[in-house]
Each structure stands twice: as C-alpha cells, then as structure tokens.
Amino acid sequence: MHIHILGICGTFMGGIAQLAVAAGHTVTGCDANVYPPMSDQLRGAGIALTEGYDSAQVALKPDVFVVGNAISRGNPLLEAILDQGLPYVSGPQWLAENVLQGRWVLGVAGTHGKTTTSAMLAWILEDAHMAPGFLIGGVPLNFGVSARLGETPFFVIEADEYDTAFCDKRSKFIHYKPRTVILNNLEFDHADIFADLAAIETQFHHLVRTLPGNGLIVSNAGEASLDRVLGRGCWTPVNRFADPAGYHADGNDAEGSLILNGPEGEIGRTQWQLSGRHNRDNACAALLAARHVGVPFDKGLEALARFGNVKRRMEVRGTVRDITVYDDFAHHPTAIETTVAGLRRKVGNARILAVLEPRSNTMKLGTMKSQLPDSLHEVDAAFCYAGNLGWDAHEALAPMGNRARVESDLNTLIEAIVAEAQPGDHILVMSNGGFGGIHQKLLERLAK
C-alpha cells in the first residue's frame, strides 16, 4: 500500500509514517515546515517529503491519503482530495486498522504525564524481553526513536484526548481500543476544542466504554474527575494508584530512591534517575499496567533503575559557569507547577530561573493565564516570552512583582536571563515548541 501523509512532520504522524514503513508500506508525505529532527528521521527511513500542501500532490496517486489533525478545511491539498473524491482516512483510524488490529494495546491517557508514563511502560516491557511496539509523543532515551512496530502482540501507545481529524472530532484514543489503559489524571485543557472539563470527561467515558471485561483500568485515585468518568459506567476491573491506603510510590529525590507500596505495605524499592511526586505516580501506574501483561513488580522496579527518561523532560542541555540549563515540555499551569516542584526538591535552596513560552493553543487563548503566578510560586525569577500572545502577559504575571519579567523579543529575553543568572543557578526552560533555539543560545551567551 502507498500512503501519502498530510502533516507528516508532527510527532504522531511521523511515528505513523515510521510504523508504516516498518510494516512494508510505501510512504510519502508533506508538511508546511519540513525541518529536523523529524525530517531527518523520515528521510533516513526512505520517506520522500514535500514541503507545503500543493494540490498537485494528488498526482502521486497513493492508495490512500492519511490526514493529520493539524490539517483543516481550506488546505489546498485536502480540498483537491475532497473535490476529486479520493480515498482518505485519519491518522488514528489508519493506525487502528493497519497496526493495532489484533494486538494487546496498552494505552496511556491523561492531561499530564502521558509521554513519560508511556516511555516507562514500554521500557519495562522491553527490559522483560517482551519486545513491544510503541508510539510515543516524544523520544525515550532508552530507545532513541518515538515509534517502533515491535516483535510481539504488545503495543504501548500514548492515548491523546485531542481530536482525531477535520472529519472526526472524537478524541484520538477512541480508535485504539486498548486492553490495558492508564488514566493518569484529568483536568481542563485544549480550550480550542473543548468547552469545559465535562466535555473532556465525556470523551474519556467513550474510551472506558470500549474496554473489554478482561482488560484493566489503572486510574489515579486522587482525581475526582476520573471518579466521575468511571461513575458513568465501568465494565472493566480497576486498579487505583496514588492511593495512600493502596498502591502508591514514595521516595527521596535527594537520594534518588523510588519505593513502591501496596495495601499491605512496602512491595519493593530501587534507585532511579527521575525526581518529583508526579514521576513517582507515573512509575506506580506503569508498574501496575506492566503487571497486567505479566511483568512482576520486582522486575518492573529493576527496569526503572535503568530508565533514562524522555528527551525534553527535564533534559539537561548543558552547564556553563556552574549554571545549568534544562529543557522541559511543560505547557500547562499544572505541568509547570509540577515540573518546578520536582526541580526544587532536587536542587534544594539553589536558585531556579523559569523561562516560559506560552505556546500551546490553550495557553495562547489565555484560558489559564490567571493560574500562571501560582504555578511559578517556587521559582526565584520568571521570564516570559510574549511574542504572538493575544493577552497581556505583564498583567497576568503582575502578582509576582519584580520576580517576573516579560519580553516580546527573544534576544532581549535572553540578555535579561543572562544578566540575572549566577553560578549555581538552574535555568528551567518550558515550552512545547522549539522556542527559537533558546537553549543553545543561552548556553552560548552564558559562555561569553
């Protein structure tokens, strides 16, 4: 089969492209911006890329066009496909029908932590010699790739609640039909497509309705929103995590310890590289899901001792003059607060300079701008890039007083950060995009 993918350079669609090639299909694709690292990965896989969405691409005559959810009506190529009655399908549907069919799918859903938890789960199965396939919205350092077809029935997928495509406004995860699912957490996000939290809860219940009776739901015990979802009807056994009286994980960030507890007390412990309550919760959920497919807790804990996290999740990009620069994907106030808290537990009283680009659709709309000051309460200084924002970042961060600085020019922002930084500081850069290459620019400027 020849498939032509619209929006191929996104993490999800690029992952589908790599899986399709591994499955023996011919793959071509296009995107508005064809650039590394995804373009390099795709070309390395032998995939021909076209920049832009010129309608002339219909002349490629693929068996089917696979349309990413970034593609909307008015796109020249999409309009040509529709006008000519050519076959097309969404990315999640193509994946479900051509890769996931007949496999034991382990889905990881939730507002936060999907990528890290998916990577943990895939690595636990890999370490147990179960050779899983996976499609993850980031690059796990243990694997070096975001997608792999795998050699066994097991397939780990990051189950995103974002909508499927221009023609299908259900959440992506509806298509995956997992047997094992983690419900990590659930709060309001994606303000560009959901009116409120209740609308997202409805999508999550659609997911619950697809789960088999011999499957397993691993659900966060501390989330009232997930309790509401399951309260609508549940036909699948539930294991709860982050439950003080049941399964939960403790540990000491300074010592690098991870301790798994169950209803009867301590189950086991290990040393690992990650920190923060959120990552301990992620680990507990991954261990419970892995047990469902046959990996004992002790083997799972051994695997987590060798887990290397995911690129852009508290990734150290470099240290100059005893000033460390981190890259993190946090782009929601809750994720920002959690990320900062994890770093604070790790570095103690050392200064943390937070650098924020409100880039996600939800953040650009300003829906959660009032939550930003509270999410940054543990930092010593905050720097916000206000380029292309439709709301007043100065006003939103005013409660932080002189601890916050807002700039609309990236170079001016970098100079302000460098002027503030001192030896021993930790500069935490948070964005779900490339942020204009700020990480390397900061390191180079600090070196001078």
| Topology at the third CATH level for domain 102-304 | UDP-N-acetylmuramoyl-L-alanine:D-glutamate ligase (3.40.1190)
Max Cα–Cα distance, the chain, nearest Å: 65
For the chain, the domains span: 2-91, 102-304, 315-447
pLDDT at 362: 67
Tell me: domain 2-91, CATH 3.40.50.1000, correct? no
Q: pLDDT tens, 107-123? A: 999 988 899 999 999 99
- Which tokens sit at 387? 């380029």
pTM of the model as a whole: 0.82
CB atoms within 10 A of CB 360: 21
Percentage, residues of the chain above pLDDT 90: 73
Q: Are strands 216-220 and 238-241 parallel, antiparallel or unpaired?
A: parallel
pLDDT at 187: 85
Q: pLDDT tens, 45-94? A: 889 999 999 999 999 999 999 999 999 999 999 999 999 999 999 999 99
Tell me: domain 315-447, CATH 3.90.190.20, correct? yes
- Which tokens sit at 272? 């690992």
Question: How far is residue 210's CA from residue 226's CA, in Å, rounded to a whole number?
Answer: 16
pLDDT at 189: 72
Question: Could you give the count of Cα atoms lying within 13 Å of 275 in the half-sphere of its Cβ?
Answer: 17
Q: pLDDT tens, 18-42? A: 999 999 999 999 999 876 667 788 8
pLDDT at 190: 66
Phi first, then psi: what are they for 279, rounded to 5°? Answer: -70, -30
pLDDT at 361: 67
